[in-house]
Amino acid sequence: MRKKIVAGNWKMNTTLAEGVGLAKDVNEALAARTPNCDVVICVPFTHLASVAAVIDGNKLGLGAENCADHVKGAYTGEVSAPMVASTGAGYVILGHSERRQYYGETSEILKTKVNLALENNLTPIFCIGEVLEQREDGSFFNVVKAQIEEALFDLSAEDFGKLILAYEPVWAIGTGKTATDDQAQEMHAFIRGVIAEKYGKEVAENCSILYGGSCKASNAKALFAKPDVDGGLIGGASLAAADFMGIVDAWN
């Protein structure tokens, strides 16, 4: 059975003190619950070790928002997968549309990052999704299929089985304009079909596919009720513990 997951992506928000405070708040809120899903927070590199020290790793997973496409060496300013793993983090977001758009991350680069993450026992949360123009011109299925094929289809079935996917339509990110639950379901079912074609039905059925893009407590329940939506990757609404918990509670 595939996992249900609610993961926060803090993006470039919070100072260290604010971030540790937020992590403590989330941790405390979780301690008072038996969540019906896995819960993960993905935080800035600078916060990882400090956040790892204040959370209960059995109840709350920790991830980075990116990692380098090299292991070590003269890559000033970069943070490698082994460095991320050494903080206690277990996850890493890769292929977020903001990284693709603003930092030129291509499928070739992402393929390398995914391999390095897996070699270092980090679970990639791999993001895919179309921009508005592609939604409007009808190419969105082909765009998402190509993103998956180009970066991920060199993996063995065993390694593919370690991934979490996140469908994040770019037009829904930070815009307040959520995909409808039917739009999300339609794409998630399509993605599962693409995986099944390559790796077989079992791998496809076991793959958690999260929805991201203006997901909040008020719309999470309807999204999560769809059979192929296995949870959410949450930006803005992960920056306050109460809002984030509202989404975690949507699984109850």
* Contact yes or no for 231/238 (Cβ under 8 A): no
Judged by beta carbon, residue 86 or residue 175, the one nearer ligand 13P is: 175
For 107, the token pair is: 């499928």
DSSP letters, 127-151, are EE---HHHHHTT-HHHHHHHHHHHH
Q: Which residue is nearest to ligand 13P (CB)?
A: 235
CB of 68 to ligand 13P, least distance (A): 19
Can you tell me the distance from the alpha carbon of 221 to that of 249, in angstroms, rounded to the nearest whole number? 9
How far apart are CB 108 and ligand 13P at their closest, in Å?
22
Read off the amino acid at residue 127: C
In the complex with ligand 13P, the residue whose CB is nearer, 199 or 215, is: 215
Contact 48, 81 (CB under 8 A): no
Q: Is 19 a residue that touches ligand 13P (CB under 6 A)?
A: no
Residues in 175-234 at the binding interface with ligand 13P, rule: CB under 6 A = 212-215, 233-234
Which of 4, 5, 6, 9 contacts ligand 13P by CB under 6 A?
Answer: 9
Q: Has 96 been annotated as catalytic?
A: yes
One-letter amino acid identity for 250?
A: A
The yes-or-no answer on residue 188 being catalytic is no
Task: With H, G, I as helix, E, B as strand and everything else as coil, classify residue 70.
Answer: coil
CA contacts within 13 A on the Cβ side of 42: 29
Q: Which residue, 118 or 215, is less far from ligand 13P as judged by CB?
A: 215
Give the x/- contact pattern for ligand 13P in 85-104, rule: CB under 6 A: -----------x--------
Helix axis angle, 181-199 to 217-224, nearest 10°: 50
Site residues for ligand 13P, 31-90, by CB under 6 A, read none
The footprint of ligand 13P (CB under 6 A) covers 9, 96, 168, 173-174, 212-215, 233-237
